[in-house]
A and B are shown apart, each in its own frame.
Chain A
């Protein structure tokens, strides 16, 4: 599997779909993986047209404003109360968000 040749993006493998789904914390049912591979493949084939551009000497524009490192003083200012923060909690206990077990070993 040559991961550095974008021209082959029309063929996304099921392994790649599973890997990306894992990175994205998305679960896909077995039938859905095929469909997703096909859809991703078509979209990636379309965006492959970008490869025709000569961008060797071009800088990336991650954003278009000439702004950098916007800072504020390191002071505590009023924020949300614990009640406000927890108001939408799916599960809570006192001032904590209740979660399924994270460390399982």
Chain B
């Protein structure tokens, strides 16, 4: 039986029917990793012994009739999320030897559900980037075309799912870092509403924007994972108490609401094939029974500038702790403590991280705070207000996830500003704290094209349901990248 390419839901049902064991499934995934890793470099840490041990424990749970729907399912974890005993490098030299002594809340939840934690995936350093080229340990390559980026910063997680190495992965999203790589790799990726999933154990980049979220093959799989991840955690004071949602249960409801298309998001700067694929998807939703209407997000043009002040500012504060004192790398230049701090950080942080810390520090410094940081946080109020207004006229917003398909490795890495523009359709969602889902809607020149659905706060269920309706009637999400570089359709 070909296990590679099956969704987590299909694998879960087959495991329960004893068609194969969690151990066999883990073995198949490890073999798939062996086939792909030389090409894509999705993983920073993958210990087959550890994976097989976890799979054996999952088989015990399954035999005892215990463990949830994720029992026995391999899940790769982005390397800025803490799994005790495994390194958490954040793609940075400054943490290259750091092993967390505690588990992230999301990891505890996955383990309690019997999921098989499957290694740590590559990322842009400290989640700062849109291509995974900023990793201190080498880039990840897009499985659809290894000359191209997988997107970032959760590029390793997206590539691992796209190559069929794992059916599920966790990523993090601060300005688009789950959705953009999902779109460029032809998989689904969800950034939950801010506060929906605990950030405890996610190594912080920008605390008012960060969220952990799932990547997988389809909306049903993401719903399964959300049922495990979502919920209040007293260790994260920004996590919200909410009724257990039953995202999976909500998927099968038939109601179809109104989808808003923001007029500002379909203008120039958007690659023609992406525009056409998203409009085609809109018409598809209409055929399925959704109503379409035009909406407006008049301040969305200010989202990127606001983000590139707020995120670096918050990062400059969060990354102050990396000083060589208590963990991570310490510079041998230690004549005095200030020299040690400065050299540790200079040696340990890559250029993009240093750039953002500098911008962020500047924006918060005396004399500039009002004009920059405060101004950006006021722009944020206006941007959030636009979404609140739009959601009076629609239940979901549909727009592109990225301005184009996967770009070439090295193409945008010379100019930071050009790289930042890759986030044009994603950052506003983080600023407003909303949930956003990227899912595949086409293919052009062998590269996936994605669209993005955004919902009201805490209404992941409506987003996932719409995606599920679309996916029941289309097959973009069935495509799996193949090592030969050709496109294969899975049944």
List residues of A whose CB falls within 8 A of some B CB: 3-4, 6, 12, 16-17, 19-21, 23-28, 36, 39-40, 42-44, 46-51, 53, 55, 58-65, 67, 70, 72, 80, 84-85, 87-91, 97, 99-102, 104
Contact = CB atoms under 8 A, between A and B. Distances in A.
14 contacts: A25-B338, A25-B341, A27-B345, A46-B305, A47-B305, A50-B375, A60-B381, A64-B380, A64-B431, A64-B433, A70-B237, A88-B326, A90-B324, A97-B325
Contacts of B13: none
A53 B302 contact: yes
A44 B371 CA distance: 11
B302 A43 contact: no
A37 to B, nearest CB: 10
Contacts of A62: 208, 377
Given A20-B362, A67-B238, 6 more contacts: A3-B368, A24-B320, A36-B355, A47-B305, A88-B99, A90-B324
Contacts of A61: 377-378, 380-381, 384
B237 A24 contact: no
Contacts of A60: 374, 377-378, 380-381
A50 B307 CA distance: 11
B375 A90 contact: no
A46 B305 CA distance: 7
Contacts of B98: 88
A88 to B, nearest CB: 4
Contact of A90 (B330, B371, B377): B330
A26 B358 contact: yes
B49 interface: no
Contact of B358 (A21, A72, A87): A21
Interface of B: 97-99, 101-102, 194-195, 208, 234, 237-238, 240, 299, 301-302, 305-306, 308-309, 316, 320, 323-330, 334-343, 345-346, 349, 354-355, 357-359, 361-362, 365, 367-368, 371-372, 374-382, 384, 416-417, 420, 431-433
A2 to B, nearest CB: 9
B159 to A, nearest CB: 28
B381 A58 contact: yes
Given A25-B345, A47-B305, A64 B335 contact: no
Contacts of B382: 53, 55, 58
Nearest to B345: A26
Contacts of B195: 65, 67
A72 to B, nearest CB: 7
A80 B469 CA distance: 46
Most buried by B among A53, A67, A91: A53
Given A51-B375, A53-B378, A100 B340 contact: yes
Contacts of B378: 53, 55, 58-61
B359 A44 contact: yes
A53 B432 CA distance: 17
A102 B381 contact: no
Nearest to B415: A42
B358 A25 contact: no
Nearest to A80: B101
Contact of A40 (B240, B349, B355, B379): B355
Contact of B334 (A47, A58, A63, A100): A100
Given A43-B359, A65-B433, A90-B327, A25 B320 contact: yes
Contacts of A90: 324-330
Given A26-B358, A63-B238, A50 B330 contact: no
Contacts of B99: 87-88
A49 B308 contact: no
Given A27-B343, A27-B346, A55-B382, A87 B101 contact: yes
A60 B306 CA distance: 12
B361 to A, nearest CB: 4
A97 B343 CA distance: 18
Contacts of B101: 80, 84-85, 87-88
B376 A47 contact: yes
B379 A101 contact: no
A31 to B, nearest CB: 13
Contacts of B335: 100
A14 to B, nearest CB: 13
B337 A50 contact: no
A64 B432 contact: yes
Given A26-B346, A47-B372, A40 B359 contact: yes
Nearest to B383: A61
Contacts of A59: 378, 381
A26 B342 contact: yes
